[in-house]
């Protein structure tokens, strides 16, 4: 795998072997699935491009004598055709991108009444409601100011070992009632199984949340994050830089959980993404197709 060394500065960045095929605008696909990452690369040093996917702004960073942007396609985005609008200097270009249905399967779990209250509190459960509100604010703050400069230099790796119990995007039913879609992958193993950072990054959150339990959020730069929940032990602090494969905690069953497992997410600020799409790639070595 080509290793990429990225230096963020006002000049442009020279990366390793480029994966693009020479177009002015290159995409990782004109057809994507819900929960996938859209990559837009523009080869120019004459101007900084601007872009919008549907109504969402793209954020370009310098890369390989040009620019690149990563955008997460939500698993709630309706399947269909959307416009990718790019401002290239004085020229505006519109490219259609088709989003396919993820066809996510259903997942059913049964929990105690006490556990169910954590995700479906009543109006008089003020302590739970207050805690959930505080937790949401803490998580939003962790994602609020992403590091623009990519910090990773190698491909992303698995965070732990074990048996997969629930996949990404599964429509989750709790006690036979719809709850949400599953924003990550659950990996079950024995209590205390080591949890490792999937790549280099900076810790943005390391605390116990009511539903997610003991949780770590890591900013890998480039607007890419990973999170690790239901831990029994947290071994890092906010602001700490961690290496790829460095132990950050241990598997547990804290928060809304039915047994020892890791709930692992990959995402951009706008949406959770399928973690399997990151494994074994550094994102910069993915093949891109010229569209202009």
| pLDDT given for residue 76 in this prediction | 96
What is the CATH number for 249?
Answer: 2.70.70.10
**Residue-range definition of the domain harbouring residue 167:** 106-277
Q: Please state, in angstroms and rounded to a whole number, the distance separating the CA atoms of residues 229 and 243.
A: 19
In a domain, 244, yes or no: yes
pTM of structure: 0.90
In a domain, 41, yes or no: no
In a domain, 44, yes or no: no
Number of domains the chain contains: 1
- Residue 1's pLDDT band (boundaries 50, 70, 90)? very low
In a domain, 189, yes or no: yes
- Among 113, 34, 120, CA closest to 76: 34
Q: Please state, in angstroms and rounded to a whole number, the distance separating the CA atoms of residues 76 and 270.
A: 11
DSSP state of 275: G
Q: Tokens at residue 187, please?
A: 């990996």
| pLDDT given for residue 126 in this prediction | 94
In a domain, 17, yes or no: no
In a domain, 175, yes or no: yes
Task: Express each pLDDT in 86-135 by its tens digit.
Answer: 999 999 999 999 999 999 999 999 999 999 999 999 888 999 999 999 99
DSSP state of 277: G
In a domain, 163, yes or no: yes
In a domain, 173, yes or no: yes
């Amino acid at each position: 795998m080509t290793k990429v060394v990225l230096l963020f500065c006002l000049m442009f960045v020279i990366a390793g072997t480029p994966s693009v095929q020479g177009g002015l605008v290159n995409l990782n696909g004109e057809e994507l699935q819900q929960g996938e990452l859209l990559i837009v690369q523009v080869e120019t040093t004459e101007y900084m491009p601007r872009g919008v996917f549907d109504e969402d702004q793209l954020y370009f960073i310098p890369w390989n004598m040009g620019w690149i942007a990563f955008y997460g396609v939500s698993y709630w985005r309706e399947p269909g055709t959307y416009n990718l609008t790019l401002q290239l200097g004085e020229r505006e270009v519109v490219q259609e991108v088709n989003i396919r249905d993820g066809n996510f399967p259903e997942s059913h779990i049964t929990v105690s009444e006490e556990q169910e209250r954590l995700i479906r509190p009543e109006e008089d459960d003020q302590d739970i409601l207050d805690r959930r509100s505080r937790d949401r604010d803490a998580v939003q703050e962790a994602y609020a100011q992403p590091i623009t400069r990519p910090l990773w230099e190698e491909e992303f790796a698995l965070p732990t070992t074990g048996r997969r119990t629930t996949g990404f995007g599964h429509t989750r039913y709790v006690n036979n009632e719809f709850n949400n879609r599953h924003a990550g992958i659950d990996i079950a193993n024995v209590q205390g199984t080591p949890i490792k950072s999937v790549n280099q990054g900076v810790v943005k959150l390391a605390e116990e949340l009511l539903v997610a339990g003991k949780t770590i959020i890591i900013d890998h730069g480039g607007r890419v994050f990973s999170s690790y929940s239901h831990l029994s032990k947290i071994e890092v602090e906010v602001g700490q830089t961690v290496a790829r494969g460095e132990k950050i905690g241990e598997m547990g069953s804290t928060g809304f959980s039915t047994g020892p497992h890791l709930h692992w997410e990959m995402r951009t600020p706008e949406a959770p993404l399928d973690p399997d799409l990151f494994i074994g790639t550094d994102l910069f070595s993915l093949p891109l197709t010229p569209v202009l």
